[in-house]
């Protein structure tokens, strides 16, 4: 059982306008070991539009994700982070090509591994907690974006839908019939 630090510092994301089109919250970078030892908490919203890698997977980048990052340290001195992300994204169904809304409710736990420390094979096998390197400058946005990308389905599709139909052209069962129709025009 892990005992979490009782001292909690709460910080709200502050939005700082960088350009006319980009909004970024702070802190963008944390010292992960110090953050977890102090039992700090950051919570707020992250606009989908600033998550560049994720934006390429989405049908549209409208909306926000609610995020909470909490540091912890157990009685044995192990440090870690707990990340919670909630919200929704809009993907393109790969069958009918229409939009599909995907709700997100991500809960991830990370054990911080200091330089020179052995990587725990047992934690990686049980899938309850992932091990990540303890960094002096951990990019919080990248961590959030990585977890959201991992939560997306490999192929997004509705439970039941039909593939798009061609407009009035009957190709029959052979692709060569479709070529013959095109050759006549």
Task: Give the pairing type, strands 99-113 and 130-133.
Answer: parallel
Per-range mean pLDDT, top range of 5-9, 113-117, 179-183: 113-117
**Residue 153 resides in a domain:** yes
Q: Half-sphere exposure of residue 110, counting CA atoms within 13 Å on the CB side?
A: 25
Alpha helices, DSSP H only, in 56-160?
121-126, 140-151
Domain count, the chain: 1
**Residue 84 resides in a domain:** yes
**Residue 61 resides in a domain:** yes
- Strand residues in 79-146 grouped as ranges (E): 79-92, 99-113, 130-133, 138-139
Q: Comparing 5 with 50, which gets the higher pLDDT?
A: 50
**Residue 4 resides in a domain:** no
**Residue 143 resides in a domain:** yes
Q: If you average pLDDT over residues 106-113, what whole number do you get?
A: 93
Percent of the chain with pLDDT over 70: 75
**Residue 21 resides in a domain:** yes
Mean predicted lDDT score pLDDT of the chain: 78
**Residue 54 resides in a domain:** yes
- Find the domain containing 114 and state its range: 10-184
**Residue 50 resides in a domain:** yes
As to burial, measured by CB atoms within 10 angstroms (0-12 exposed, 13-18 middle, 19+ buried), residue 115 is: exposed
Please report the pLDDT score of residue 94 as a whole number. 87
Would you state the structure tokens that stand for residue 62, as one six-digit string?
Answer: 């409208």
CA distances from 147 to 45, 128, 142, 169, 173 (A): 15, 14, 9, 43, 43
């Amino acid at each position: 059982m892990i005992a979490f630090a009782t001292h909690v510092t709460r910080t709200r994301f502050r939005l700082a306008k960088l350009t006319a089109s980009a909004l970024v919250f702070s802190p963008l970078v944390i010292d992960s070991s110090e953050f977890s030892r102090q039992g700090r908490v950051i919570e707020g919203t992250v606009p989908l539009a600033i998550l560049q890698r994720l934006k390429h997977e989405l049908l549209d980048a409208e909306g926000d994700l609610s995020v909470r990052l909490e540091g912890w340290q157990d009685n044995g001195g192990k440090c870690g982070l707990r990340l919670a992300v909630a919200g929704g994204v809009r993907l393109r169904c790969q069958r009918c090509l229409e939009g599909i809304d995907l709700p997100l409710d991500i809960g991830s736990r990370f054990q911080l591994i200091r330089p020179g420390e052995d990587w725990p094979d047992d934690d990686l096998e049980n899938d309850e907690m992932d091990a990540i390197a303890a960094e002096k400058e951990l990019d919080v946005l990248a961590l959030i974006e990585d977890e959201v990308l991992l939560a997306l389905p490999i192929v997004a599709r509705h439970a039941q839908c039909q593939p798009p139909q061609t407009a009035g052209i009957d190709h029959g069962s052979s692709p060569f019939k479709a070529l013959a129709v095109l050759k006549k025009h």
